[in-house]
C-alpha cells in the first residue's frame, strides 16, 4: 500500500530540535541523549557533577556537587584508575574534564591531556574560594542533620507517650 505521497512516519520521526524546559523524563534513550546534548550551558553545569569521598560526605552531609576548576579528584575508572589530580579545565560543550598530570604521549613525542567524564571521578578536596559554593555546602550540613535529629526526637517522644498511654 502506498502512503499517497506522504511519509507515513511523519508524526513519529519528527522531534523538536530546540531544548524543552518542560521535558520531565522518558524511557527512550534517544530522548534522554537529546535532552543532554541540546541543554543550554547553564544547565549542563549540573550534569558535570561528581560524588564525594566518604570523608567529605560525613563532613558536609551531601553526596555530590558540580565539579569546579581547582577541585582535587580521584579517577575511579579507566586506564588512570586510582590517580589523583587537580582539575585544570572543564568543557561544558563536550561534558569532559581535564586533570593535571593525566596525559598521554603522542607519536611525535608531545603530550596531550586526556578528557574524562565526570561520572568516572570522585571529589577528594573542594575548591572553597567561591562564596556561593560555601553557602551551598553550609546549607546542606545545617539543614539535613538538624532536621533528621528533630524528626527522630519527635518520633521517639510520640512512641514514649503511646507506651505510657497503653500502660494506663
Of residues 97 and 141, more confidence is placed in 97
Instruction: Give the cell for residue 132.
Output: 556561593
Per-residue pLDDT band for 14 (boundaries 50, 70, 90) equals: low
Contacts of 94 (CB under 8 A, 6+ apart): 115
Instruction: Give the cell for residue 17.
Output: 530540535
**pLDDT above 80 for 110:** yes
106-131 mean pLDDT: 95
**pLDDT above 70 for 11:** no
| Predicted model pTM | 0.71
Q: Report in angstroms the alpha-carbon separations of 58 from 10, 23, 75, 160.
A: 53, 34, 20, 30
Amino acid at each position: 500500500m502506498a502512503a499517497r505521497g506522504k511519509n507515513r512516519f511523519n508524526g513519529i520521526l519528527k522531534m523538536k530540535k530546540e531544548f524543552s524546559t518542560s521535558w520531565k523524563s522518558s524511557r527512550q534513550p534517544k530522548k534522554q541523549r537529546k535532552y543532554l546534548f541540546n541543554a543550554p550551558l547553564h544547565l549542563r553545569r549540573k550534569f558535570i557533577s561528581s560524588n564525594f569521598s566518604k570523608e567529605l560526605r560525613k563532613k558536609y552531609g551531601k553526596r555530590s556537587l558540580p565539579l569546579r576548576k581547582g577541585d582535587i579528584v580521584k579517577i575511579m575508572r579507566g586506564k588512570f584508575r586510582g590517580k589523583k589530580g587537580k582539575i585544570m579545565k572543564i568543557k561544558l560543550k563536550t561534558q569532559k574534564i581535564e586533570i593535571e598530570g593525566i596525559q598521554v604521549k603522542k607519536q611525535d613525542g608531545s603530550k596531550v591531556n586526556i578528557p574524562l567524564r565526570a561520572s568516572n571521578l570522585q571529589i577528594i578536596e573542594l575548591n572553597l574560594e567561591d562564596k556561593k559554593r560555601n553557602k551551598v555546602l553550609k546549607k546542606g550540613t545545617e539543614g539535613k542533620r538538624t532536621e533528621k535529629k528533630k524528626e527522630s526526637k519527635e518520633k521517639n517522644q510520640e512512641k514514649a507517650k503511646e507506651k505510657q498511654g497503653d500502660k494506663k
